[in-house]
Amino acid sequence: MIRLEHLTKIFGHPTSGFVAVDDINLDLPAGEICVLLGPSGCGKTTTMKMINRLIQPTSGKVFIDGKDTSAIDPIELRRSIGYVIQQIGLFPNKTIADNICIVPDLLGWDRKKSRTRAEELLELVGMQPDLFLKRYPKELSGGQQQRVGVLRALAADPPVMLMDEPFGAIDPINREVIQDEFLKMQQAIRKTIIFVSHDLDEAVKMADKIAIFRSGKLEQYASPDELLAKPANSFIENFLGSDRALKRLRLVRVCDAMLTTFDSVRRDDPIVAARDMMHRSGLPAVLVVNPDGVAEAVIKKEMAGHASGSVADHLGPVTASVSVNADLRNAVALMFAHDMPVLPCIDDAGKLKGVMTYRSIVANLAGGDEA
């Protein structure tokens, strides 16, 4: 959907000026998000602004859906591309409805159609139209204003969106909420998005592809998982940080890393059976599962010790479990917070589908199978 071919921008004289963007080639399929990352002054924002020709390229081409954008009138081009900026830029003298409908109004949409579109978009981000359509920006919180800024970019249903650090000015709690809302929305609308960010964690969370720039050059273009697992050079390795393996936790779902074959016991089993299972598996705990397939308790190694009797005499509570649809970051946080070295992985009905262990997580991040 978006293709950059030898895209270059030189400020000043073509042969002696400052090379801000140096021969960039990039291909982003339809419906995906590409986050541009890199140090300040690396060329990421300049690259994005050349896509809608807010900055004119010195050389090279930008294609959107196979069309050379240099052959399209710049005003027409910009009206066909959604654009979201960090400062939001809502018009203070216009209602939320009028702010959202800026581009549809410029395009001559029927007023009823455009306002219906505004209502639909507000509902999409959990803002009740009857409460917000007639309000003014000053009556909204910063997070709500940011949502409206995103909706304004979506109002004319553009196939492409450009986002310049859109969530950077929002506090961390609201930023997470808005990012989650945006990703849910993206699953439904599937826009093709170029997204400038300075936040690696945000990029890993939001992107289908990440492009890392340095001094105007594109150093690596890859999926978040590939980037974190196989940085192309020492610059990228240093840029990603020594904790890049931990950042990969966000990218792996529990259902893809959990152990689906595991030992468990019942309440009326002898405690020696649990002790033998832990000795055989090397795990520090074993789950107690009831006939309905629910993990109702846990036996830890220190509980079993040299104990005798039945499992029921030595039970410990299951203080945490994780959804099979969660990511490994959530699983690890629960394991640490609740001291659960064997964490139950459950479906929506609460049925046990697998277990998560520290070894299974390490094995998954290493790309191998647990021994």
**245 and 259 belong to one structural domain:** no
Residue 191 has pLDDT above 90, yes or no: yes
Residue 87 has pLDDT above 80, yes or no: no
pLDDT in tens, 233-287: 999 999 999 888 888 898 889 998 899 988 899 999 999 999 999 888 888 899 9
Query: Residue 35 and residue 58: Cα distance in Å, rounded?
Result: 23
**267 and 347 belong to one structural domain:** yes
**85 and 167 belong to one structural domain:** yes
Instruction: Assess if residue 26 is contained within a domain.
Output: yes
Mean pLDDT, residues 198-204 taken together: 91
Residue 59 has pLDDT above 90, yes or no: yes
**300 and 188 belong to one structural domain:** no
Residue-range definition of the domain harbouring residue 95: 2-249
Instruction: Assess if residue 91 is contained within a domain.
Output: yes
Query: Residue 57 and residue 259: Cα distance in Å, rounded?
Result: 52
- Taking the CA atoms of residue 34, residue 37, residue 41 and residue 45 in that order, the dihedral angle to the nearest 10 degrees is 20
Instruction: Assess if residue 234 is contained within a domain.
Output: yes
pLDDT of residue 242: 86
Of the three residues 214, 233, 249, the one that is the final residue of a domain is 249
Q: What is the CATH number of the domain that holds 355?
A: 3.10.580.10
**55 and 201 belong to one structural domain:** yes
**82 and 177 belong to one structural domain:** yes
**13 and 156 belong to one structural domain:** yes
Confidence of residue 3 (pLDDT cuts 50, 70, 90): very high
Of the three residues 212, 227, 249, the one that is the final residue of a domain is 249
Residue 170 has pLDDT above 60, yes or no: yes
Residue 109 has pLDDT above 50, yes or no: yes
CA-based nearest residue to 324, from 263, 369, 370, 258:
258
Of the three residues 224, 249, 274, the one that is the final residue of a domain is 249
pLDDT of residue 370: 41
**195 and 258 belong to one structural domain:** no
pLDDT of residue 367: 63
Mean predicted lDDT score pLDDT of the chain: 91
Report the domain count for the chain: 2
Instruction: Assess if residue 344 is contained within a domain.
Output: yes
Instruction: Assess if residue 371 is contained within a domain.
Output: no
**97 and 200 belong to one structural domain:** yes
Mean pLDDT, residues 175-187 taken together: 87
pLDDT of residue 105: 92
β-sheet bridge partners, residue 161: 82, 193
**226 and 278 belong to one structural domain:** no
